[in-house]
A and B are shown apart, each in its own frame.
Chain A
Amino acid sequence: MDKKLDASFERVEKALAVLIDSMTKFTPSEKAANDVVKAERELFLGLEELEVHQRNVARIKQLKQETEALDAQTKQTISALWEMRKELVAVAPTKFSPAKEEKYPFTTQQLLDYARRISRNTLPPPGVTNGVDLSTAAPTTPDDQAATGPNASFATSIGGGGGGGSGQGTAASTPAPGVQDSFVSQVPSQSQTGATELPVHLKPAVNPLENAPFFTFPTIDRIRSGALAQYQDLINRGIDPKNYDPEEEERRIKQEEQDRKDAEERARQEREEQDRRMREERERMARERELARQQQQQQEGSMDRRGSVLAPGQAGGQPARAAPKQFTFLDEDDDDEDED
């Protein structure tokens, strides 16, 4: 571009030099003037072209800047993304404990069983207030309306006397509603309920749970009588509780006791057996002695019989004397009479 312009300038200068030259020689040449005009026109064209060129250069510069800016932005975005990715990778994934991952299915029955098991420790028995004033804090319950409203007995009969807390025995003896409508306007409600309910100041006397505390945790007494207390007791007694089972121990002691008793029983039986044998022996000996005695008697008897044969008068008198032996006194009487 520069060369082209330089050439144009050169031509203009040369043409001008030729023209000036011709003018200085006082021979102005028309051709030289035309050359100058032509050269100048070309120069203007070249200058216009230069202008366009300059504009283009400016444009290119601007575009280059724009590109650079965009490049920088792209780089920044990419680096930001990279950073972000690194951070994401660096974040430790949440580890769910195995207990949460595993599901523990349960049946309705199990749930109800559990509810029943815990209910005695979570729900106070009716009438137990633990010192909380139940009548004031919840004034919108139907029970309270029944107790304080003007149609107390009527409300009770409709509500069925749903006895929350201490409101027992209200519905049981209320008359039919039809009868009551007529009563309500005439009889003060206090006396109406008074007929069926105990006065307020007597109610605590019939409630066995009055002032009974309710705890949602095991009491100290319970803790003291539990397995841990037994454990401590064993340690205090110098017994190592590990692998020590009092039941097993008791069973062992019982077994020993039983064995001892069995041994005693056996010894006793043996003693008895021995006694029995000795007794039998004695009896046998007694029997033998008896037998021997009898035999001896028999022998003596036979000898007597033999003797009676020899002396009949002696033998005949003996049975007659022996027979009345049983009735000795008769003999004596007879003797007396005889004597008299």
Chain B
Amino acid sequence: MASEPMSIGSSAQDPPPVPDATSQEPKYGGHTRFELELEFVQALGNPEYVNYLASRKFLQNPAFVAYLDYLQYWTRPPYLQYITYPTSCLKMLELLQVERFRKDILSPNLTHALVTEGMKAAVEWHRESLS
């Protein structure tokens, strides 16, 4: 990812339209905005990736924070149904709206804890439902 400063002057955009067979969306490197944003919002579920973004000072950039706020449209229908990593991705999106978390995720300890706890929870919630 590039670390150039982003412009905050760009106006807020509406969420991209849900793809259908007839849509003629402009493509960026062969992918529509819908595809790119879906991939990005799911990648945010990975604490290591968020830590990487924090280490490149993205999370302190007001434009990027505004973008994170904009990305919350993924928590609502009809976009919600396209997310295939719902558990971690949506929680991380929620956490990233908090300034304190955006600073704390810079810590490798927190990143590691999020990964291990996430892995544990993935196994344990299922076991709880069995018992």
Q: Which residues of B contact A99 (CB under 8 A)?
A: 76-77
Q: Give the CA-CA distance A241 to B83 in the complex, in Å.
A: 24
Q: Give the CA-CA distance A234 to B81 in the complex, in Å.
A: 30
Pairwise interchain contact B46-A214, C-beta atoms closer than 8 A:
no
Q: How many residues of B contact A (CB 8 A)?
A: 44
Q: Which residues of B contact A243 (CB under 8 A)?
A: 26-28
Judged by a CB distance under 8 angstroms, whether A9 is at the interface is no
- A217 and B29 in contact, given A130-B120, A138-B127, A164-B130 (Cβ under 8 angstroms): no
Judged by a CB distance under 8 angstroms, whether A213 is at the interface is yes
Q: Give the CA-CA distance A164 to B28 in the complex, in Å.
A: 46
Q: Give the CA-CA distance A106 to B81 in the complex, in Å.
A: 10
Pairwise interchain contact A124-B26, C-beta atoms closer than 8 A:
no
- A132 and B124 in contact, given A227-B31, A232-B2, A235-B2 (Cβ under 8 angstroms): yes
A228 to chain B, nearest CB (A): 6
Q: Which residues of B contact A241 (CB under 8 A)?
A: 28-29
CB contact list, A208-241 vs B, under 8 A: 213-220, 223, 226-228, 230-232, 234-235, 241
Pairwise interchain contact B131-A140, C-beta atoms closer than 8 A:
yes
Q: Which residues of B contact A245 (CB under 8 A)?
A: 27, 29-30
Pairwise interchain contact A130-B49, C-beta atoms closer than 8 A:
no
Q: Which residues of B contact A132 (CB under 8 A)?
A: 120, 123-124
Q: Which of A110-118, A171-179, A264-272, A302-310 contacts B (4 or more CB under 8 A)?
A: A110-118
Judged by a CB distance under 8 angstroms, whether B89 is at the interface is yes
Q: Give the CA-CA distance A286 to B131 in the complex, in Å.
A: 98
Judged by a CB distance under 8 angstroms, whether B43 is at the interface is yes
Pairwise interchain contact A227-B122, C-beta atoms closer than 8 A:
no
Q: Which residues of B contact A129 (CB under 8 A)?
A: 123
Q: Give the CA-CA distance A192 to B2 in the complex, in Å.
A: 63
Chain A 87-112 interface 0/1 with B at a Cβ cutoff of 8 Å (1 = within)? 00000000000010000101000100
Judged by a CB distance under 8 angstroms, whether A131 is at the interface is yes
19 further A-B pairs in the complex, CB-CB below 8 A; given A227-B35, A241-B28, A247-B30: A122-B122, A123-B126, A129-B123, A130-B122, A130-B123, A141-B131, A164-B127, A213-B119, A215-B119, A216-B45, A216-B121, A217-B92, A217-B118, A218-B45, A231-B28, A232-B1, A244-B30, A245-B30, A248-B30
Q: Can you name 27 A-B residue pairings with CB atoms under 8 Å? A: A121-B85, A130-B119, A130-B120, A131-B119, A131-B120, A140-B131, A164-B130, A213-B119, A214-B123, A216-B118, A218-B43, A218-B85, A220-B46, A220-B49, A223-B46, A226-B43, A227-B35, A227-B36, A228-B40, A231-B36, A232-B2, A234-B29, A243-B26, A244-B27, A245-B27, A246-B30, A248-B30
Using a CB–CB cutoff of 8 Å, the interface residues on chain A facing chain B are: 99, 104, 106, 110, 114, 117-118, 121-124, 128-132, 134, 137-138, 140-141, 164, 213-220, 223, 226-228, 230-232, 234-235, 241-248
